[in-house]
């Protein structure tokens, strides 16, 4: 009799556990969301979000394997427990840029997650930014007073967050933006847009601490990864980049009040046919700033223009004056074991500020070849006294 009661009690607990687990999953198809690719699911998602965010136990919001239309939305915390967004299907943005308002720092966002702790975005789904029509209206490379196009996925002030196994397709502006956040991991993410799509940075990180980006493939029209001011302790590993503008710290020094960049670690990455490789870029005539403890190691370059670059005269489309030097201090930088092919004769260039020369720059075991007009590859440095270790091909020369 005791054994029967005990067995029944165990079965009851097991059944209860299944019931509790079932109630923690919010399948939007059961809340009225239409997967016809036309009907906006924003109202449904907002209702589900309010309930999930108020839950005192971890919840999953499930977007099943079908196609959904989704207008601009913000998931704003704080919430009472961990939340997992399981995007299995495809969500498509509106092609009409008038549907997007600026509701976040920097650029406006299509899908924004803000003030959330213990957030996961996963599921293998696709975020289609439908950017082709918007790109025609982007003139930000020519003027500061340009139309602000929306970032596909914005993560503002999120902590202990994991973004895993999703695809961002044809964003109107940046694909992913991480701002004001702590302890964020991005892994097994695919980012895709044409090489000529303007301002479509793959991942932009600003004023965040402890961001890890790994096992990610980025093909886009701007920087594969760009690191803005105030960013600290960023680890980038096993990233494949191309097409795109490379893996970049900066640009820095464009605005007053920018915060120091400290601790950038880029390792075991491959760049293919990008317009830059690994680079640090600051504006001339800038306010004071600083960037230090930046390290690039074990990088493969496949037909990359400017494979190794410090550019403290970064001035796209002549939007500034080069008469006054950059006031961003660059120090404690290393480029080690960078190898492959350059698509331009200048395979490595360290162009530092004549007002604040770079300090503690180490170059070790560079092997970059160039086969084209003008002769073999060359490497040069200005306003810096690098420390060289190992072999350098091509050899570096002061200029």
Give the active site residues: 245
**CB 185 within 8 Å of CB 209:** no
Q: 233: part of which helix (H) or strand (E)?
A: strand 232-241
Cis before 151? omega within 30: no
Residue 209, strand partner residues = 182, 232
Residues 6+ apart with CB under 8 A from 353: 282, 284, 312, 325, 326, 327, 328, 330, 383
**CB 225 within 8 Å of CB 213:** yes
**Cα dihedral sign for 209, 251, 93, 244?**
negative
Quote the CA–CA distance of 44 and 30 in Å, as a whole number: 10
- Residue 1: count other Cβ atoms within 10 Å of its Cβ: 5
For residue 134, give the 3-state DSSP assignment: helix
Quote the CA–CA distance of 160 and 347 in Å, as a whole number: 39
- Helix (H), strand (E) counts: the chain: 3, 31
Burial class (CB in 10 A: 0-12, 13-18, 19+), 29: middle
What are the start-end ranges of the H helices in the chain? 2-23, 42-54, 132-135
Residues 6+ apart with CB under 8 A from 244: 195, 202, 218, 219, 220, 221, 222, 223, 224, 274, 275
∠ CA 295-290-230, rounded to 5°: 80
């Amino acid at each position: 009799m005791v054994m029967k009661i005990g067995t029944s009690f165990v079965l009851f607990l097991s059944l209860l556990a299944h019931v509790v687990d079932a109630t923690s999953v919010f399948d939007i198809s059961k809340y009225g969301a239409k997967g016809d690719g036309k009907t906006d699911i924003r109202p449904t998602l907002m209702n589900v979000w309010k309930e999930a965010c108020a839950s005192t136990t971890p919840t999953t919001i499930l977007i099943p394997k079908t196609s959904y239309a989704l207008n601009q939305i913000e998931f704003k915390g704080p919430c009472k427990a961990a939340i997992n967004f399981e995007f299995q299907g495809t969500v498509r943005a509106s092609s009409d840029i008038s549907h997007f308002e600026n509701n976040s720092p920097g650029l406006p966002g299509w899908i924004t997650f803000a003030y959330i702790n213990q957030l996961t975005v996963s599921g293998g789904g696709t975020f289609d930014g439908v950017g082709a029509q918007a790109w025609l209206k982007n003139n930000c490379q020519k003027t500061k007073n340009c139309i602000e196009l929306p970032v596909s996925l914005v993560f503002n002030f999120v902590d202990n967050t994991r973004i895993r196994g999703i695809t961002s397709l044809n964003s109107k502006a940046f694909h992913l933006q991480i701002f004001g956040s702590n302890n964020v991991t991005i892994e097994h993410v695919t980012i895709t847009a044409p090489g000529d799509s303007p301002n479509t940075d793959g991942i932009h990180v600003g004023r965040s601490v402890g961001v890890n980006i790994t096992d990610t493939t980025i093909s886009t029209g701007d920087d594969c990864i760009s690191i803005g001011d105030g960013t600290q302790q960023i680890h980038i590993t096993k990233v494949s980049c191309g097409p795109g503008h490379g893996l970049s710290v900066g640009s820095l020094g464009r605005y007053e009040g920018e915060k120091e960049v400290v601790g950038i670690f880029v390792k075991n990455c491959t760049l293919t046919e990008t317009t830059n490789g690994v680079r640090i870029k600051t504006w001339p005539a800038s306010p004071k700033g600083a960037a230090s403890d930046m390290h690039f190691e074990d990088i493969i370059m496949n037909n990359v223009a400017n494979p190794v670059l410090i550019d403290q005269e970064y001035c796209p489309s002549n939007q500034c004056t080069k008469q006054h030097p950059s006031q961003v201090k660059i120090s404690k930088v290393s480029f080690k074991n960078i190898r492959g092919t350059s698509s331009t004769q200048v395979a490595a260039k360290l162009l530092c500020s004549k007002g604040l020369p770079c300090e503690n720059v180490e170059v070790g075991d560079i092997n970059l070849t160039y086969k084209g007009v003008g002769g073999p590859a060359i490497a040069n440095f200005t306003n810096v006294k690098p420390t060289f270790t190992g072999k350098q091909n091509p050899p570096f020369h002061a200029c």
